[in-house]
Amino acid sequence: NAGVTQTPKFRILKIGQSMTLQCTQDMNHNYMYWYRQDPGMGLKLIYYSVGAGITDKGEVPNGYNVSRSTTEDFPLRLELAAPSQTSVYFCASSPLVGTWVVPPDTQYFGPGTRLTVL
């Protein structure tokens, strides 16, 4: 299993541009999450999804949109990039049903996308 993968790894945007951050997991996890991590800070939840077709806002959703058309993919859309969106973005997933080895709440993180908005 590749686990959670994210593309791109790095991106520089100009103010007002738009882009989509891609996230894919191959572990058949129901739950997926998007976090942002500002320098020297913890992670803040942007959006999450409990399954295909179901998404909900987290702590800091303004300026972002998500969709979940399949179990595997959970893209994050920035419509009008602003300097305040400069951050590292992490996607994560966790299973609905746990196993002996992996409890249901364990979140697995992707490698992150470092985004700079100038």
**Contact pattern from residue 15 through residue 44 relative to another protein, giving x for each residue in contact according to CB under 8 A and a dash for the rest:** ----------------x-x------xxxxx
How far, in Å, are 10, 42, 52, 98 from residue 87 at the CA level? Answer: 11, 11, 26, 31
Q: Give the binding-site size for another protein (rule: CB under 8 A).
A: 25
Spatial distance between the Cα atoms of 4 and 56, rounded to a whole number of angstroms: 20
Looking only at the bridges linking them, the beta strands covering 87-94 and 54-57 are unpaired
Of 58, 61, 63, 75, the one binding another protein (CB under 8 A) is 58
Spatial distance between the Cα atoms of 47 and 32, rounded to a whole number of angstroms: 9
Spatial distance between the Cα atoms of 90 and 111, rounded to a whole number of angstroms: 7
Nearer to another protein, 20 or 109 (CB): 109
Of 59, 70, 80, 83, the one binding another protein (CB under 8 A) is 59
Nearer to another protein, 17 or 67 (CB): 67
* 8-state DSSP, 61: -
Q: Is 60 in the site for another protein (CB under 8 A)?
A: no
Of 70, 79, 103, 118, the one binding another protein (CB under 8 A) is 103
Q: Which helix (H) or strand (E) holds 46?
A: strand 43-51
* Binding residues for another protein (CB under 8 A): 31, 33, 40-45, 48, 50, 56, 58-59, 90, 94, 103-112
